[in-house]
Structure 1
Amino acid sequence: MTSIGTGYDLSNSVFSPDGRVFQVEYAGKAVENGSTSIGIRCKDGIVLAVEKITVSKLLKLGANKRIQTVDKHVGVVYSGMNPDGRHIVTRSREEARHWRDQFREQMPIPTLAANVASYVQLYTVYNSVRPFGVNTIIGGVDDEGSHLYMIDPSGKSWGYRGAASGRGRQTVNNELEKLDFDKLTAAEAVKEAARILYVAHEDNKDKDFELEISWVTEANGRVHEFVPESLLAEAKIYAEEQLDADVEG
């Protein structure tokens, strides 16, 4: 970066001569080094999944969840710095609770995503704080249907059919583009999410990982929850079989 060492990367409230905010770009690099996460919007709901690298054999399996519930009908998965992700989840829950207290109804998911994106963007304009080193994928089902949004460290928010973040983002995006989201059911999306994460993990296969997958569907009453263990086991078997078939092919 041409402006490193000239002072333009010391504050997130200063633009470089070529119009860049280096602190935001550095936050994006933190995301690229994080675990790979996926969001899929299918015909009957949404699916969230994450590849959680096992950094130590001493860690308890299932602890430190990367997928969390914001409100009954909304879930979140994130890539990047874990403390930053937890803070965004807390803020999202506050937004949803305040809306419910004021209007006595669930918060529309597009409004939730917009409010959280605005909050994230505030951390890019003041010198006393730093940008969040995390990409957040928000997904759920409300009265208007299923929704999937991704918010990056700059506060930019887009609606997606399929979203990916983390170190395997490019590989995941290539696989997501092959899916027919209009015909894909939530149960099928769970298996595809597992397969795609196994494919992305091939670039980091010397490390063990846990697979976390959740969903919100019309069939389960629009409740964000982790998928049943039986379906998760099926998804892992399907992913391994597809990966072996690709290797043999």
Structure 2
Amino acid sequence: MSSAITTRSARIRTAVSVGVVLFLALWMIRASAETADSQNTRQSEGLADLIRTESTRQADLITTLGELETSVADMTKIAETTLPTLPTNVEKATALSLGMQEVTGPGVRLAMWDAPQTEDNLARFTPDDLVVHQQDLQGAINALWAGGAEAMTLQGQRVTPTTAFRCVGNVLLLHGQVYSPPFVVEAVGDPSALTEAVDNSPVLQVYQQYVDVVQLGWEFAEQESVTAPAASRAPSLKYATVPEDTDLWQVAD
């Protein structure tokens, strides 16, 4: 009998334990659901607040954009009405000096090319003595500028203040293109003054000696009309700056 009572008590304890566990489980599920609902509510409220905040921010940005556009329009009107324009003669002179304007007039034409590689030349001179060098071309161009050239071309391309060329071997690198002899330079200006400048150039005087000895190519003639086409693109400055307190418009006048 004692054993039966013990068994019944164990069953009661088990039932009570199961009931307690079920009660706790149900309570935890309900609590979790309430927590989830409250969290969802907070998230919904947070999302709504975010939308309201961003809407307000967008409206502020649109207002700022409108104010900036109005300021730009006002400044553009002021610039159009108050900034002076370059005098016509200054504008033309600037375009001419930058090589951005085609010009035609009297001038000169010169050509330079390599000497023939004859047995006599190869026996008496080095191959370096038989080709046109970069300093030869530079000497010709500098002499023409010194003689008052108003515009110039090298291989038909306009020479501008930023033009740079190199001679590698017997080829010329100019504006990204490669040229072989003859190298042709044409200049617009007073033909007599240009001829005198070429005759008095120390570099070209040395070149003329090689013309006589190894037959380096040389051709020079005055021209009634020389055309220098406009440069294909305007020169750009990377390092040059205008000094402070410089009135560009006063300089232009």
TM-score range, shorter chain: under 0.3
Bigger-Rg structure (1/2): 2
- The alignment's TM-score, normalised by the length of structure 2, stands at 0.20
- The alignment's TM-score, normalised by the length of structure 1, stands at 0.20
Structure with the higher fraction of residues in strand conformation: 1
Structure with the higher fraction of residues in helix conformation: 2
